[in-house]
Amino acid sequence: MHELGITKNIIAIVSENAQNKKVQKVLLEVGKLSAIMPDAIKFCFDICAQGTIVEGAILEILEIPGMARCRECGNTFYVDKPFGLCECGSVKLDLLTGEELKIKEIEVEDLCV
């Protein structure tokens, strides 16, 4: 399960960018064509966050659908695998979305003194 290593990296990046503030929420974008299983990331998140400033944070995952553009006719359409066939019969496709793995947003605790 490569998601464990990916989740450890996500926690490290979030911790580094939170500037020592307690993390409340992490919004992650995961493309449906990325070969990353959102449920596995969710499963690993709390375990990997233990003992860090991310512990107890809410993980929200936004799944990005796969989109491709045909190089032959220019048609843009949804795909559910990293290869496909355009309506025109061409297999020459450029993937536009679906391969993402992004930390889109980090919400941190704002302490008022």
Torsion-angle region of 19 (φ positive above 0: left; ψ -120 to 50: alpha; else: beta): left
pLDDT in the model for residue 113: 58
- Residues 14/26, Cβ–Cβ less than 8 Å: yes
pLDDT over threshold 90, residue 17: yes
Helix (H, G, I), strand (E, B), or coil: what is residue 31?
strand
pLDDT in the model for residue 112: 61
Contacts by 65-71 with C-beta closer than 8 Å and gap 24+? 65/32, 65/97, 65/98, 66/31, 66/32, 66/33, 66/95, 66/97, 66/98, 66/99, 67/95, 67/96, 67/97, 67/98, 68/93, 68/94, 68/95, 68/96, 69/93, 69/94, 69/96
Q: In whole angstroms, what is the distance from residue 32 CA to residue 10 CA?
A: 18
Q: Helices marked H in the chain — which ranges?
A: 3-17, 38-49
pTM for the model stands at 0.84
pLDDT in the model for residue 2: 83
pLDDT in the model for residue 1: 57
The amino acid occupying position 35 is: A
pLDDT digits (tens, 9 = 90+) for 31-57: 999 999 999 999 999 999 999 999 999
pLDDT digits (tens, 9 = 90+) for 61-107: 999 999 999 999 999 999 998 888 999 999 999 999 999 999 999 99
